[in-house]
A and B are shown apart, each in its own frame.
Chain A
Amino acid sequence: SQTIHQWPATLVQPVGSPLSLECTVEGTSNPNLYWYRQAAGRGLQLLFYSVGIGQISSEVPQNLSASRPQDRQFILSSKKLLLSDSGFYLCAWSEWSEQYFGPGTRLTVT
């Protein structure tokens, strides 16, 4: 069966520091991969999606970037965090229409 992992689970980072969140998927090949951010009480905002290695599409211009160095690995990065980057970051994968989400990373920028 397929599983999706995210780490770390929680992160507290100062403003201006770098960020790297990692997501890996097991049990499937060539999935579509997604990064979302969820602010408190808000819906999921799609940040990036990828249909293959090295193929990244950005949905919202911002302080973040994404990379897909391997088929089942998706990384979200920032060179310098802003206060507004705080939120709940979710990675998801899909093969068909439905998406399957990881456990999420709670990021607090102080």
Chain B
Amino acid sequence: SQKIEQNSEALNIQEGKTATLTCNYTNYSPAYLQWYRQDPGRGPVFLLLIRENEKEKRKERLKVTFDTTLKQSLFHITASQPADSATYLCALGFSGGYNKLIFGAGTRLAVHP
């Protein structure tokens, strides 16, 4: 069956450390993968997109990797801050699909001072 899996348990880290979140998928062949941030009671906010032919993408303190062989994406936040505390969602996108996305359930990140 088709699945997208993100760490169901919350990730707790100390301020200043690097947070690493994982997104694994099964029986999908996405053309690209996206990461979103969602704060409680709010809509998700787009962060980064990485295409199937890209290994790594960076934006400020964020880094995303995409391994289509392992069917996995890693999302890193370096020098984490308490303001980075939120739920992070990964989403798979497919070519020719009217930009339809399939979302994972998300991982909650808590950065402690």
Q: Enumerate chain A interface residues (CB-CB to B < 8 A).
A: 32, 34, 36, 41-44, 46, 49, 51, 57, 88, 90, 92, 94, 96-104, 106
Contacts and interface: CB of A to CB of B under 8 A. Distances in A.
A36 B43 CA distance: 10
**Closest 4 pairs (CB-CB, A-B):** A101-B43, A43-B105, A44-B103, A43-B103
Interface string B37-58: 0000111111001000000000
Contacts of A99: 46, 99, 101
B28 interface: no
A34 B103 CA distance: 13
Contact of A98 (B42, B49, B102, B103): B49
Contacts of A88: 41
Given A44-B103, A97-B99, A102 B43 contact: yes
Nearest to B44: A101
Contacts of B93: 97
A101 B104 CA distance: 16
Given A41-B105, A106-B41, A98 B34 contact: yes
Given A46-B101, A97-B99, A104-B42, 15 more contacts: A32-B98, A32-B99, A36-B103, A43-B104, A43-B105, A43-B106, A49-B98, A49-B100, A94-B99, A97-B32, A98-B46, A98-B49, A99-B46, A100-B46, A103-B42
